[in-house]
Every structure is written in structure tokens, then in C-alpha cells.
Amino acid sequence: MQAVREKIDKAEVLSSSVRDRSNGVLPFVNMSSDPKQEYLSDGISEELLNVLAQYQNLRVAARTSSFQFKGENEDIVKIAEQLKVAHVLEGSVRKSGTRLRMTAQLIKASDGYHLWSETYDREFDGVFAIQDEIAAAIGDALEAELGLGKDAVDDPQPMVIAAANTQAYDAFLQGRRLIHQRGRESLEDAVRHLERSQRLDAIYAPAHAQLAIVTILLLDSGGTYGDLSMTEVNRRATPHINLAFELAPELPEAHAARGLMTIHTGDWQQAVSDTRMALDSNPSYTDAMNWQRIALGELGR
């Protein structure tokens, strides 16, 4: 079997992923004096991206595309032009002890005016509710202006999957950020954080899915980062994939994890099917785009 190359140049994939989008999200900037808290603002940004992507007819620029502007003091209108989006959501996060302050504002790129803004000052254990409120407010604002949002009034409101406690969520965010960094050391650290997340909340589906993904990325192959055999990867990752599906059958990361697994077992059709399911739920999921491209390439498509 031809070696699978997970480490491809993602620039080509991302250049097409941001065309004809109608909304964008800039990272929520960390306002804390502690740079070690940056994972929190990055994680909250990504959670909001994932929730907003669930709205029907609302196209959201990919995480990697949006995050390139983190910390940049560039004009919002120019950023929107580069992302090819009509609206930009930006914000900030400040955590002090158990208190969390988040600000968010939705900006219309054509004139730079605010459509909506809000500040939330609460205990950290209210972080899930804050994210849901922000996503709902953005959906309402765009629904009012553009007729975007849910296709039917009885459609469920897209929501963040809440962990049982903020310690589990905190460990999950740290683990996922390390996965994005790739590299063996970062991935092995990610395993430790995600295992801690599971110890704190054994039924948190996103942590199970991400632990499966990082385990597969630690495979010993030409395109991955570790020294695990396929047998060991299968033994460790499969139970987490199965549990993620049991807990959250529509979770994009669960489909992506199974798609990545089947890439490495050579079941290209299943990989295409799973990554397509992941992208149906989250069209901005760039890893799923990447893995689907690999599977389609192996099928000569």
C-alpha cells in the first residue's frame, strides 16, 4: 500500500475552503496577563466556529484561515476581504481565578458597523452557556439581516457539547490545541491532557474522538508522527471511536476519526463516506477536508 501522507501542504485546500463564504470568525484574543491561557481563547474561538457552522445556509471560514489573523492589528474590512466573508465575529477572553469575562461583537464588513455586541462576566463554569448564547445571538442577528439561520422553526438550536465540569473541558481544550500543532512531542502531550479530560468526565464525546485522532496520528508511518504499530493504534483508538459514536452519533470529530482510521487501513470508500459526514455537519473542518482529499486521491478521483 502506498504510504499515506497526512502532512501535505494545506494551503491549496484552504484557498478553496474560504471562497463564497458569508461569515467569518476571528479568534477571541486572550486578554489575560498569563500567556499560558492562550489555549482557552483559541479553544473558545474554535468551539464557536464549530457551532456556527451547524447553521443551515451559513458558511463559516475555516479555523486555520481565521486564526492566521490572531494578534494582528489589521483593519476588519481588509481581513474580511482576504477571507472573502461578509461578516466578522471577533472578541476577547480574560480569565482571573474562577471568573471569566468574554466580549463578542459581530461586524458587517461592507461598512465596519456593529450588528451586535455583548460582554459576559460570569464564573468559568458558565462558559458553555456563554458560547451557546453567543452562537444564538449571531444566528438571530444574521437571520434578521439576511434571512440566514435555521431552515425550520422547529430545528434544534446548535449548541456546544458541554463537559460535566470545567476541569474536563479545560484539559480537552489544551489537548486539542496540541493536536493542531502536530509533531510527536505535542501529540504525546495531547494524549495526556485528553486522558485527564476523560478521567474527569468519562462520557465527554469530543474528548474520546480527539483521543482517537491523536492516537492514529502517532502511528509509525511515512505520513504520521509516532512509533505505534497499526495493531496498537487499532487497540487504543477503536474503543474511543465507538464510544464517541455511542455518545454523540452526529459528532463531526467521530466521523473524522473513523475516516482517518480507515485511510490507514486502506478502506478508501469508507474514509470518503466518513469525512463527507464530518463535513456535512461542519463544512469548515479542515482536517476532514484534508483526509477526504487523501482518500479521493487514492481512488483516482
Q: Is 117 in the same domain as 217? A: no
Q: In this structure, what are the phi and psi dihedrals at residue 76, rounded to the nearest 5 degrees? A: -60, -40
Same domain, 172 and 290: yes
In a domain, 247, yes or no: yes
CATH code where residue 251 lies: 1.25.40.10
Number of domains into which the chain is organized: 2
Do 194 and 108 have their domain in common? no
* Domain match, 239 and 130 both: no
Residue 118 and residue 198 share a domain = no
Strand order in the sheet with 114-123: 24-30, 87-96, 99-108, 114-123
Q: For residue 152, tell me if it sits in a domain.
A: no
The parent domain of residue 132 ranges over 12-146
Per the domain annotation, does 175 fall within a domain? yes
pLDDT in tens, the chain (301 residues): 444 444 333 322 222 223 334 566 666 655 555 677 788 888 888 888 888 888 777 788 888 888 888 777 778 888 888 888 888 888 888 888 889 998 888 888 888 888 889 999 999 999 999 989 988 888 788 777 666 544 544 566 788 899 999 999 999 999 999 999 999 999 999 999 999 999 999 999 999 999 999 999 999 998 899 999 999 999 999 999 999 999 999 999 999 999 999 999 999 999 999 999 999 999 889 999 999 999 999 999 9
Q: Say if residue 208 is in the same domain as residue 268.
A: yes
